[in-house]
């Protein structure tokens, strides 16, 4: 009885295993089904050679090089001789330091610095499309005088602002109350040469209280309705624009609907130049500035009332902006007028 039960149980186990094996074994593949419908055609890409030749054709490259040789950016002495190998002057006084700074976020001393060239500003391509000019950056910058601020000149113009900024702050910047005096310790004191970005953005200079109101920061027409590249790199005509970086009178006339042969739209340059001379002479009378037209002007080392040093900061920064007010007329005229006004009171009591 027990033997029969065991035999039945064994046979039942073999049957189960056989059934399980039969269930998991694949049968023969059936015939293939009909082909599906074709997918939508993709968009044709731009021919790689054509895209590259937008910039890299021999004729185009030679034209841009010829224009660049007209520019002060191509003069090695300006870039290298004074500060080309010093990390403290990074990132702007040599090709190598600028590339280091833009790619690594810092710059170190270099042993053999060279002047700016195409690859100084133009880095690795991002999209490889016709309008990808491969600039190393077009992002807004944090000015060196206050890294918590953002200076945005819009798009490609931001690359100009990396170097064309004041670097230093005016003597009263960030102070709730001005100290009575400020000591100038060097004849090189003042904003870094060429603070054009600060002028265009309307920030970083000493806004001395006075009878002329300062425009709202960022309200300049040349910031919002023009650009560094639009004025300085417009179509190359009559030896201006393009990669010469010489501002284009033709571009000025196109925007303003005029037919001028210079940049003195509305007499702004005449007015500002007169104010710059007046402010300089006030500073000379107070002993803050010394020099002459032949040898140049520089601050006198010494201790002066802070407002006088603020006025000097404005004068030298706007003098070295070199646009004579064009970059931001309302801001420049307010700075100069109020600086002169403040010094006239100082001169009377001097």
- Exposed, middle or buried, 32 (CB in 10 Å: 0-12/13-18/19+)? exposed
Neighbours of 260 (CB within 10 A): 13
Average pLDDT rounded to a whole number, residues 288-300: 96
pLDDT of residue 115: 86
Distance CA 211, CA 233 (A): 37
Confidence of residue 130 (pLDDT cuts 50, 70, 90): low
Query: Burial letters for 62-94: b for 16+ Cβ neighbours within 10 Å, e otherwise?
Result: eebeebbebeebbeeeebbeebbbeeebbbbbb
Q: Which helix (H) or strand (E) holds 230?
A: helix 228-232
Count Cβ atoms within 10 A of the Cβ of residue 33 and give its class: 0-12 exposed, 13-18 middle, 19 or more buried: exposed
- 3 phi/psi in degrees, rounded to 5: -65, -45
Residue that wins the pLDDT comparison between 350 and 112: 112
**CA-angle at 274, arms to 268 and 277, nearest 5°:** 135
Q: What pLDDT, on the 0 to 100 scale, is given for residue 31?
A: 78
Distance from C-alpha of 81 to C-alpha of 154, rounded to nearest angstrom: 32
Asked if the model's pLDDT at residue 46 lies above 70, the reply is no
Asked if 334 and 215 count as a contact pair (C-beta separation under 8 A), the reply is yes
Phi/psi at 176 (nearest 5 deg)?
A: -70, -30
Q: What is the pLDDT of residue 108?
A: 81
pLDDT tens column, 234-268: 999 999 999 999 999 999 999 999 999 999 999 99
Rounded percentage of the chain residues whose pLDDT exceeds 90: 62
Query: What pLDDT is attached to residue 45?
Result: 64
Distance CA 140, CA 155 (A): 8
Q: What is the mean pLDDT of residues 208-232?
A: 94
Q: Is the pLDDT of residue 2 over 70?
A: no
Q: Is the pLDDT of residue 347 over 90?
A: no
CB 280 within 8 A of CB 316: no
**In this structure, how many other beta carbons lie within 10 angstroms of the beta carbon of residue 187?**
13
| Proportion of the chain above pLDDT 70, given as a percent | 87
pLDDT at 79: 72
Task: List C-alpha distances in Å: 206 to 169, 178, 190, 202, 322.
Answer: 9, 12, 12, 11, 18
* Predicted model pTM: 0.83
**DSSP H or E segment with residue 297:** strand 296-299
**Tens digits of residue pLDDT in 78-116:** 678 777 777 777 678 888 889 988 988 888 878 888 888
Specify the range with the lowest mean pLDDT, choosing from 55-59, 69-73, 291-295: 55-59
State the DSSP code for 67.
Answer: H
Closest to 161 (Cα-Cα) out of 123, 216, 199: 199
Axis-axis angle for helices 58-68, 48-56 (nearest 10): 30
């Amino acid at each position: 009885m027990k033997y029969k039960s065991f035999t039945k149980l064994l046979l039942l186990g073999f049957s189960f295993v056989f059934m399980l094996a039969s269930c998991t074994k694949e049968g023969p593949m059936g015939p293939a089904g009909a082909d599906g419908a074709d997918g939508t055609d993709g968009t044709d890409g731009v021919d790689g050679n054509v895209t590259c030749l937008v910039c890299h054709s021999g004729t185009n490259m030679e034209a841009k090089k010829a224009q660049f040789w007209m520019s002060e950016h191509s003069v090695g002495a300006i870039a290298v001789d004074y500060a080309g190998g010093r990390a403290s002057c990074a990132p702007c006084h040599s090709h190598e330091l600028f590339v280091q700074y833009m790619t690594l976020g810092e710059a170190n001393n270099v042993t053999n610095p060279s002047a700016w060239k195409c690859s100084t500003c133009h880095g690795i391509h991002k999209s490889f499309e016709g309008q990808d000019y491969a600039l190393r950056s077009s992002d807004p910058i944090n000015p060196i005088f206050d890294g918590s601020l953002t200076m945005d000149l819009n798009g490609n113009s931001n690359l100009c602002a990396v170097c064309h900024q004041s670097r230093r702050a005016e003597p009263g910047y960030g102070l709730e109350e001005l100290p009575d005096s400020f000591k100038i310790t060097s004849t090189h004191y003042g904003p870094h040469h060429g603070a054009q970005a600060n002028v265009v953005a309307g920030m970083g200079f000493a806004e001395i209280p006075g009878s002329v109101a300062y425009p709202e920061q960022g309200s300049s027409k040349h910031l919002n309705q023009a650009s560094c590249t639009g004025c300085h790199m417009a179509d190359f005509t009559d030896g201006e624009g393009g990669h010469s970086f010489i501002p284009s009178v033709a571009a000025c006339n196109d925007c303003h609907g005029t037919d001028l042969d210079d940049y003195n739209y509305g007499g702004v340059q005449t007015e500002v130049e007169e104010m710059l001379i007046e402010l300089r002479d006030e500073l000379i009378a107070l002993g803050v500035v010394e020099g002459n037209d032949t040898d140049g002007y520089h601050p006198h080392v010494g201790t002066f009332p802070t407002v006088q040093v603020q006025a000097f900061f404005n004068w030298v920064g706007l003098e070295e902006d070199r646009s004579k007010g064009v970059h931001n007329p309302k801001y420049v005229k307010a700075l100069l007028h109020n600086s002169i006004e403040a010094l006239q009171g100082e001169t009377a009591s001097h």
